[in-house]
Amino acid sequence: MPEGGVKVNKIRIKDITKDLGLSNKDILHILRELGIRLKLSPVREVIEGRRLVVVDDSIVRGNTSRQLIAMLKAAGAAEVHLRISSPPIKNPCYYGIDMASRSQLIGADMEVEEIRAFIGADSLHYISLDGLMACTPVAPDKLCRACFDGQYPIPVPGEQMSYAEGSQVDKERKVTEAKSSAV
């Protein structure tokens, strides 16, 4: 008997996720989808046969939107149109917003029509960046818009653009355009 009089037994806990072929990433995805189903409960009597317009603040990965639209259609919605009150999120935020990496951002690699098809909406429209900036009394040069256009207010290691100093990519594109138009 060990010190203190407490009997200690070694036990082995089996990780069934390996038997199922699931990674930690797979498990997080499953939990995220379950959370969406628990949070949202469409009411068939209100939805059935109707054309719906859903307004959301953003689409980050697309999973929530896709699941929501599928649930609304399963509840009998005739059409589901999605309106987003931000431009497509194409770049990660390094300033305190917990956001996916660029590879996980649906707006980084897909055009609006591709996103619409992926999430299953009948139509999808985003507000433009200019439209979003017009909604606030703050001067556009004082707003951080990096997640939408990649122009970070201060240089970020690994990122090419900064609107504080002007975009290097924009400068290179302008030089290329000037050379092309001179020819």
Other C-beta atoms lying within 10 Å of the C-beta of residue 10: 4
Contact 106, 60 (CB under 8 A): yes
Range in 2-16, 63-77, 152-166 the model is least confident about: 2-16
Q: How far, CA to CA in Å, does 25 sit from each of 15, 32, 48, 118? A: 15, 11, 35, 20
- Beta strand 123-126 with 51-56 is unpaired
- Most confident segment among 38-47, 105-114, 133-142: 105-114
Contact 63, 36 (CB under 8 A): yes
Task: Give the confidence band of 183 by pLDDT, cuts at 50, 70, 90.
Answer: very low
In the CATH hierarchy, which fold is given to the domain comprising 44-138?
Rossmann fold (3.40.50)
Q: Is the pTM of this model over 0.95?
A: no
Concatenated DSSP letters of 82-111:
EEESSPPP-S---SS-----GGG-HHHH--
> How far is Cα 91 from Cα 108, in angstroms, rounded to an integer?
7
Residues of the chain with CATH 3.40.50.2020: 44-138
For residues 170, 96, 64, 134, the Cα torsion angle rounded to the nearest 10 degrees is: -50
pLDDT computed for residue 175 by the predictor: 45
